[in-house]
Amino acid sequence: MQYTFEIIGVAPTLDFFRHQQELAQRPCGVEYLGTSPCTLDALLGSLEEIPSRRGWDLDSLIDTVIRFWWNNPDLVGLWRSRLRDAGEDSLLISRLGHIQSLQQEFEWLLGQ
């Protein structure tokens, strides 16, 4: 199964949790991760619960995140800087999911 991962922004912690509550009320084929600090270890640690909820392959998820991290050092540095500038009450927001699920998520967002 092929997964996609990307860093999508920085948000206040409370906004992220509010968004997670909204997602819990509708079917969603992607996972949004909120981490602080902006490190590979923090992102990998946030993956641990996803496979049990989704039935996804943890090794493939880890591989996807690591490939993104190593192939995009400038982008990672940019988001690390933005997270630092945002302050302690903010999280780095990332999106992870099946490529097909991401398409469904975009279609749902466009319908809103």
pLDDT of amino acid 7: 97
Across the range 43-67, mean pLDDT stands at: 91
Q: What's the predicted TM-score (pTM) here? A: 0.86
Domain count, the chain: 1
pLDDT band at 12 (very low <50, low <70, confident <90, very high): very high
H/E stretch holding 68 = helix 58-71
**Is residue 9 very low, low, confident or very high in pLDDT (cuts 50, 70, 90)?**
very high
Range of the structural domain that residue 105 is part of: 3-111
In this structure, which amino acid lies at residue 29? G
Tokens 């469904």 belong to residue: 104
The structure tokens 């996807």 sit at 64
Helix/strand/coil for 112 = coil
Query: Residue 102: which of 16, 1, 17, 3 has the closest Cα?
Result: 3
